[in-house]
Chain A
Amino acid sequence: MSSLQAFNRKARKLQEACAAETGDAEALDVVALQDKKNKHGRVYYPLGCTLNFNPGWEVDISGGTAGLCAPVERDLFDCYLGCAWPAQVPDHLSNNPDWTSKCNSAVNDWRDVDVIYP
């Protein structure tokens, strides 16, 4: 028991209010992904890619591998745009607008993407 004792009703209300605040923090606890379920009964997948490495998780949101972020060559045009992907792509707005002009389908023609030497 704490050596600080809530004595009247207002003090108890203060205690309850503070406990409720810290209680919410539990929902943000770190939960290992190996654990099938957190306290809400679901596996929790953070949106998007990991903070630490790309191209992504070992499994996708359905628990399979089909929806994984593709290797960089296959997902050239999305990873760097939609996520915080650190891959360096040429600036195709101002300096290198044609660097993918020979590449109609990234999945097939990725070998034809120009290499740019800054």
Chain B
Amino acid sequence: MTAAEAVAVEYHPAEHHLFETGGRQFLYLVPSGAVFGLSGLSQELFSLLRSCPLSRDELTGELARRGYASREIESTLDEMVEFDVVSSGIPKKSFPSVPDQTFPIQRIVLNTTNQCNLACGYCYEYSDDRISSTKDQPKFMSSSIARAAIDTLFKESAGRSSLHVTFFGGETLLNFPLMRESVEYATSKARKAGKTVEFSLTTNATLLTEEIADFLAEYRIGVTVSIDGDKELHDRMRVFHSGKGSYDIIAPKIKMLLSRHRTNSIGARVTLSNGVREVRRIYDHLTREFGFEGVGFAPVTASPDRLYHINGTKMDRVLDEFEELAWEYRDYAIRGGRHYFTNVSDTVKELHLGISKAYTCGAGLGLLGVGTSGEIAACHRFVDSPVAQMGNVTTSGLNHEARNEFLGKHHIGARPDCHSCWVRPLCAGGCYHESYIHHGQTEASNLSQCDRIRGWIDLCLRIYGEIGMKNPKFLERFEES
């Protein structure tokens, strides 16, 4: 480049999202996920470039007119170029690289059974939106298949020393003996291999007993209870086959579990649906009546013509309630207290670490789902379904070709609808199962939710910024060891 050309280079802001909180401006950089605070010179410099690209001379000239020392201007501009806050020339879009094809597996989700003693109206496994076909599959996973699945986990885990087995279903506890066997098998296998293995369980809580609670405590198993709020709300959708609600059965069992099992966290998972949208009420009930250590809300996965689907305006009202709870989380965080709204804490953690995802989640990447017949799928939602299949634990194990093909199709670089979106480091296109239900393809981006996702991340960035300014110590809990 000639000297004249060098002088004429124009500086542009790099891809970013600007947000303001607590009277301060911040930048969220894309795709790195880095967050920088702006003030004084950096703020004015960036603001100039946001209005229009400028050359170095134009920038330094204008900022010098505003009273800044030229040496400071130069060094700030150079620093911003170095950190990819500003680019000389038109910024190029960039994406995280595709990970090595031998990326190790860290977690398997075992479907101990595809049977369930409840008939929840919105269940993605049983309702009209189900994609799995369990007619020809064994109802319960056998010991040999469970062991083969755990063997596959260890085999595919390469150098990873900390593994995880999640127990799922149907209703997992219908096959508690298998869960117990598998925990013991995996624990002893881990000991021999010099690795550690942790466990988690998802359950509707109808079959919890003191014996099971003690077992969970003994093996430090994390528990997620599916519960939708107080009796009136919960019983709208979470019913037995007879139509009777399950709240009265599970309430005392949950309290028993919470008092007996203290070696790992016990969280609540709420599925919001058209008739169950009272976020604030549900949160208060689950934290005050029970004492769950975390409450996570998920709007139901459903195609738009289901009666329990939450339509546009109603979904916006749900998000308003999310926002109210999120600001409350901010209040608690600034005071150093505990708040249990995990939708926010999970997001704040990812923002604090500066996560930048190549894939929307670990399905097929670090996580695999295994069905009762040993079929391996990208995750538990695709077990026994026609898509995202990658082998069988009883035959030749994980099918690497199918896995690599799956990963290739779902990398953020291969989801062009997302390429101009600033939240792609955190969203990366959205849940594959959601995509399949709404668009018929796992690799389609979940476009109908984009504005809401952007709104949510912007909200969480503002909350994060404020917590970082007023009580940065609170954020240390999110630092990984």
A-to-B contact residues, CB < 8 Å: 2-11, 13-15, 18
How far is A10 from B33 in the complex, measured between Cα atoms in Å? 7
How far is A9 from B348 in the complex, measured between Cα atoms in Å? 12
Least Cβ–Cβ distance between B353 and chain A, in angstroms: 5
Which residues of chain B from 215 to 234 have a CB within 8 Å of any chain A CB?
A: none
Known: A2-B42, A3-B43. A8 touches B35 (CB 8 A): yes
A6 touches B82 (CB 8 A): no
A11 touches B42 (CB 8 A): no
A9 touches B354 (CB 8 A): yes
A3 touches B468 (CB 8 A): no
What are 26 A-B pairs at a CB distance below 8 A? Answer: A2-B42, A2-B76, A3-B38, A3-B40, A3-B42, A3-B76, A4-B38, A4-B42, A4-B79, A5-B38, A5-B39, A7-B26, A7-B36, A7-B465, A8-B35, A9-B352, A9-B353, A9-B354, A10-B32, A10-B354, A11-B35, A11-B354, A14-B84, A15-B83, A18-B82, A18-B83
Least Cβ–Cβ distance between A9 and chain B, in angstroms: 5
How far is A11 from B479 in the complex, measured between Cα atoms in Å? 14
* B388 close to chain A: CB less than 8 A: no
* B258 close to chain A: CB less than 8 A: no
B-to-A contact residues, CB < 8 Å: 26, 29, 32-43, 76, 79-80, 82-85, 351-356, 464-465, 468, 479
**A residues within 8 A CB of B32?**
10, 14
Least Cβ–Cβ distance between B152 and chain A, in angstroms: 33
**A residues within 8 A CB of B82?**
18
Interchain CB contact (< 8 A) of A7 among B35, B41, B85, B355: B35
Known: A8-B354, A10-B35, A14-B32. A3 touches B41 (CB 8 A): yes
How far is A116 from B115 in the complex, measured between Cα atoms in Å? 102
A7 touches B468 (CB 8 A): yes
A14 touches B38 (CB 8 A): no
**B residues within 8 A CB of A2?**
42, 76, 79
Least Cβ–Cβ distance between B379 and chain A, in angstroms: 26
Q: In chain B, what residue has the closest Cβ to A19?
A: B82
Further pairs besides A7-B26, A8-B464, A18-B82: 16, Cβ < 8 Å: A2-B42, A3-B38, A3-B43, A4-B36, A4-B37, A4-B42, A4-B76, A4-B79, A5-B36, A6-B34, A7-B36, A8-B35, A10-B33, A11-B34, A11-B36, A15-B83
Q: In chain A, what residue has the closest Cβ to B39?
A: A3
**A residues within 8 A CB of B38?**
3-5
Q: In chain B, what residue has the closest Cβ to A4?
A: B42
Interchain CB contact (< 8 A) of B354 among A3, A13, A18: A13
A14 touches B35 (CB 8 A): no
**A residues within 8 A CB of B79?**
2, 4
**A residues within 8 A CB of B355?**
10
B37 touches A7 (CB 8 A): yes
How far is A28 from B37 in the complex, measured between Cα atoms in Å? 33
Interchain CB contact (< 8 A) of A4 among B33, B85, B354, B464: B85
Least Cβ–Cβ distance between B27 and chain A, in angstroms: 9
**A residues within 8 A CB of B33?**
8, 10
**B residues within 8 A CB of A6?**
34, 36
A4 touches B80 (CB 8 A): yes
Known: A2-B42, A2-B76, A3-B42. A8 touches B85 (CB 8 A): no
How far is A7 from B83 in the complex, measured between Cα atoms in Å? 13
How far is A18 from B34 in the complex, measured between Cα atoms in Å? 14
How far is A51 from B200 in the complex, measured between Cα atoms in Å? 68
Q: In chain A, what residue has the closest Cβ to B355?
A: A10
**A residues within 8 A CB of B468?**
7-8
In order of increasing CB-CB distance, the 5 nearest A-B pairs are: A10-B354, A11-B34, A5-B37, A3-B42, A8-B35
